[in-house]
Amino acid sequence: MNNANAGIGMTSQRTRDRLIARLRDKGIRDERVLQAMSVLPRHLFVDEALASRAYEDDALPIGYRQTISQPYTVARMTEALLADDEPQKILEIGTGSGYQSALLAALVKDVYTVERIPELYQQTRKLLHSMNLHNVHCKLSDGTWGWENYAPYDAIIVTAAASQIPDSLTQQLAMGGRMIIPVGEQNDKQQLLTLTRTAAGFEKNKLEDVVFVPFVNEGKS
């Protein structure tokens, strides 16, 4: 992930505006999310060779067999995470490119994000620091463990598909808190789920069908 060239920099606001129009057409309604995405330079989160495609509504490779999620998916998950609430402390599982982290940083007080791939962790942490996103706290660790030191979290967002919802994450969710997580095997249909913690247990709702890269080494050290 590198800074895009000057040409991309000059046209990026216009291309961001077109992307926001497409997101509106697809049903994204939360103005907080749309405004934050309209000023977030997605081209900084992809390799320079792909910068010209940064504002297409597509997932793109970022190396290490990982991708930066489709903007619609990022917007949909963020909108669902913020629905009817204003969470102040969010745990993100799978820092990846840092794009989702940066979006959340514009919307909530603190973002705690975990990445398991050392090289990706290092370059993304450096990028987020260079953007002065000091409310994003990064950790190199297996995502299935969460980040227990700062639990409970008002919300948890998981950016890789789990075969089942990890108990270690649900237990780090505050009462009344919400988790957004894709669940399902890579070669089967995956579902994006909302999980809300209540006094009676966990309420689960399906948002839509999705395709995500899988959790790696689930439940393993």
What is the CATH number for 125? 3.40.50.150
Q: Are the C-beta atoms of 2 and 47 separated by less than 8 Å?
A: yes
Catalytic residue among 12, 38, 69, 168: 69
Distance CA 57, CA 132 (A): 26
Q: Are the C-beta atoms of 116 and 138 separated by less than 8 Å?
A: no
Q: What letter does residue 70 receive in the DSSP assignment?
A: P
In a domain, 81, yes or no: yes
In a domain, 27, yes or no: no
Number of structural domains the chain divides into? 1
In a domain, 8, yes or no: no
In a domain, 33, yes or no: no
Please identify which residue in the block is written with the tokens 């009676």. 200
Nearest to 22 by CA among 82, 74, 72, 80: 72
In a domain, 132, yes or no: yes
Q: Are the C-beta atoms of 177 and 110 separated by less than 8 Å?
A: no
Measured torsion, CA atoms of residues 89, 91, 95, 97, in degrees rounded to the nearest 10? -40
On the question of pLDDT at 120 being above 80, the answer is yes
Mean of the per-residue pLDDT values for the chain? 90
Euclidean distance between the first and final Cα of the chain, in Å?
A: 28
Assess whether 141 carries a catalytic annotation. Answer: no
Given this model, what pLDDT does residue 45 score? 96
Which residues are CB-neighbours of 8 under 8 A, at least 6 positions away? 43, 51, 52, 54
In a domain, 115, yes or no: yes
Summarize pLDDT for 182-193 with one digit per residue, the tens: 998 766 789 999
Distance CA 135, CA 30 (A): 22
Domain enclosing residue 122, as ranges: 60-210
Mean pLDDT, range 188-200, rounded to an integer: 92
**Which segment of 2-6, 72-76, 107-111, 210-214 scores lowest on mean pLDDT?**
2-6
Distance CA 183, CA 192 (A): 6
Given this model, what pLDDT does residue 14 score? 82
Cis ω on the peptide bond leading into residue 152 (within 30° of 0)? yes
On the question of pLDDT at 142 being above 60, the answer is yes
Given this model, what pLDDT does residue 84 score? 78
On the question of pLDDT at 22 being above 70, the answer is yes
Structure tokens at 87: 């969470």
Mean pLDDT, range 39-58, rounded to an integer: 93
